[in-house]
């Protein structure tokens, strides 16, 4: 393969182990704490292994929260956002990559600028707006504000830059409409990029806490991260075993998606250079 700086075998192995430990140990701790009874956590918090491992925490979490509903809501929301982002990123990325038109720079600039306005800052006006059209506590209210992905638009654009113009010209000559070109011709070419984008978006919105918290005032529309927050008490003592169990339950789907599709996820954030 490629030549690389030579490190002694032992040092390298040791370094790899240390790295793995640093990054896996916290999960291990989270999982182990979730298996301990609360009394044990309070009395011997630094002990690693549970003396009396129990699944009580998980039973309690499942009992006290309608997890299935939250799971469903979160999945539908995350899927909806990812799907909408792809649908919009394709034509937008195509226009930015392939077409000459006035105002291109501005469009570009606006899309980038939106990366700079986090949700906590936009909350009041957006909530008022959505409330006035009756979209609070609805799926649309959770999805629409995230319908555009700046990252996705740039990824599509980047990928399309390497598609030869000739191919598109040929399709046009054959009578294909621009819509057809974007969705039926180019999209399949971009499959790896789109899959990466989809997965990346899904995972990051799965975990979102702030926006669903402030935008839903009704149980029906709640998402999983909020449910886990319910476990953390205020006004009485913390039941750490439940909090940890809840966090394990919250993290597992994201980790599972990641494990199944790492290759694509890693590729999604692997875009270098917005310019050029």
Partner 1 sequence: MIPRREFLRASAVAGGSVLGACALDAVPKGRTPVSLWFSYGGTNREVLESLVQRFNRGQTRDFVQAVYQGDYFEGLAKLRTAIAARCAPVLSHVVSEVIPYLAEAGVLEPLADYPGLRELDLIPELGQERTWASGGARPLCALPFNRSTPIAYLNGDLFAQAGLDAPRDWDELRAVAKRLTERKAGGRFGFGCPINWWFWVALVGQAGGSIVAANGRVSLGDEAGVRALRLWQELVRGGLMKLPPGRDYNAWEQCNQDFLSGRAAMIWSSTAFLKYLEAHARFRLIAAPLPAGVKRAVPTGGTFWVVLRSAPSAEKAAAVRFLRFMHEPEQVITWSTRTGYIPVTHGAVRALEQRGYYAAHPNDRVALEQLSVAEPWPWSVDLFRIQREIVQPRLESAVIQQRDASAILTEARALALEPA
Partner 2 sequence: MKPSRPGDPYWMLLPTLLLLFVFFVFPLGMLIEHSLFSWDLLTPARYVGLGNYRSLLHSGELWQTFSTTLSMSTVVVLGSMAAGLGLALLLDRPGRWAAFVRSAVFSAYVVSWVSVGLLFLWLLDADSGIFAGVWRTFSNGRAPQWLADPALAPWAVAAVTIWKITGYALVIFLSGLQDVPPTILEAAELDGASPRQRFASVTWPLLRPTTLFVATTSLIASFQLFDVVRVMTQGGPVRSTTVFVYAIYEQLFLDLRVGRASAEAVVFFAILLLLTGAQFVLFRNPEGL
| Cβ(34)–Cβ(53) below 8 Å | no
CB of 127 to partner 1, least distance (A): 5
Residue 47 binds partner 1 (CB under 8 A): no
Report the residue number, 128 or 262, with the smaller CB distance to partner 1.
128
Interface map 49-68 toward partner 1 (x if CB under 8 A):
---------------x----
Contact of 94 with 186, CB cutoff 8 Å = yes
Stretch of 133-141, 151-159, 165-173, 250-258 contacting partner 1, by CB under 8 A: 133-141
Residue 92 near which of partner 1, partner 2, none (CB within 5-8 Å, type-dependent): partner 2
Residue with Cβ nearer partner 1 (69 or 98): 69
Q: Which of residues 214 and 254 has its CB atom nearest to partner 1 in the complex? A: 214
Q: Give residue 218's region: left, alpha or beta (phi > 0; psi -120 to 50).
A: beta
Joined together, the tokens standing for residue 120 give: 């906590």
From the list partner 2, partner 1, none, which binds 73 (C-beta under 5 to 8 Å, kind-based)?
Answer: partner 1
CA dist list (Å): 127 to 73, 137, 166, 211: 20, 11, 46, 10
Residue 46 in contact with partner 1, rule: CB under 8 A: no
Question: Which of partner 1, partner 2, none interacts with 115 (beta carbon under 5 to 8 A by kind)?
Answer: partner 2
| Sequence-separated (6 or more) residues with CB below 8 Å from residue 173 | none
- Give the CA distances from residue 162 to residues 11, 190, 274, in Å, rounded to whole numbers and listed in that order: 42, 11, 14
Q: How far is the CB of 159 from partner 2 (least distance, A)?
A: 14
Nearer to partner 1, 205 or 239 (CB): 239
Among 231, 244, 249, 261, which residue sits at the site for partner 1 (rule: CB under 8 A)? Answer: 231
| Rounded CA separation 272/123 (Å) | 31
Out of partner 2, partner 1, none, which partner does residue 122 contact, by CB within 5 to 8 A per kind? partner 2
| Separation of first and last alpha carbons in the chain | 31
41/90 with CB nearer partner 1: 41
| DSSP states along 64-84 | HS-HHHHHHHHHHHHHHHHHH
CB burial class (10 A; 0-12, 13-18, 19+) of residue 121?
exposed
The smaller minimum CB distance to partner 1, of residues 14 and 134, is found at: 134
Q: Give the one residue of 12, 59, 191, 220 binding partner 1; rule: CB under 8 A.
A: 220
Subset of 174-213 contacting partner 1 (CB under 8 A): 213
Nearer Cβ to partner 2, position 58 or 123?
123
Q: Which residue is associated with the tokens 């059209």?
A: 133
Instruction: Name residue, tokens 């298996």.
Output: 35
Among 140, 167, 177, 262, binds partner 1 (CB under 8 A): 140
Q: Is the dihedral of CA 89, 127, 66, 53 positive or negative?
A: positive
Give the interface with partner 1 as residue ranges (CB under 8 A): 38-39, 42-43, 45, 64, 69, 72-73, 76, 123-124, 127-128, 131-132, 134-141, 213-214, 217-221, 229-239
């Amino acid at each position: 393969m490629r030549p690389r700086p030579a490190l002694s075998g032992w040092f390298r192995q040791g370094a790899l182990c240390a790295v793995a430990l640093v990054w896996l140990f916290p999960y291990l701790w989270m999982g182990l704490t979730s298996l301990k009874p609360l009394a044990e956590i309070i009395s011997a918090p630094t002990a690693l292994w549970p003396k009396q491992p129990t699944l009580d925490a998980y039973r309690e979490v499942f009992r006290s929260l309608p997890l299935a509903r939250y799971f469903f809501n979160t999945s539908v929301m995350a899927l909806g956002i990812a799907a909408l982002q792809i649908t919009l990123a394709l034509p937008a990325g195509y226009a930015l990559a392939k077409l000459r038109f006035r105002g291109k720079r501005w469009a570009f600039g606006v899309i980038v600028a939106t990366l700079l306005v986090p949700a906590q800052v936009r909350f009041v006006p957006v909530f008022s707006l959505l409330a006035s059209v009756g979209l609070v506590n609805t799926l649309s209210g959770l999805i629409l504000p995230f319908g555009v992905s700046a990252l996705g638009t740039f990824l599509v654009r980047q990928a399309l830059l390497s598609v030869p113009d000739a191919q598109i010209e040929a399709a046009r000559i054959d009578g294909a409409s621009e819509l057809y070109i974007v969705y039926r011709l180019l999209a399949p070419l971009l499959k790896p990029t789109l899959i990466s984008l989809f997965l990346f978006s899904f995972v990051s919105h799965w975990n979102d806490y702030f926006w669903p918290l402030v935008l839903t005032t009704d149980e029906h529309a709640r998402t999983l991260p909020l449910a886990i927050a319910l476990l953390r008490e205020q006004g009485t003592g913390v039941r750490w075993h439940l909090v940890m169990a809840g966090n394990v339950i919250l993290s597992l789907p994201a980790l599972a998606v990641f494990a199944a599709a790492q290759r694509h996820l890693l590729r999604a954030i692997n875009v270098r250079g917005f310019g050029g």
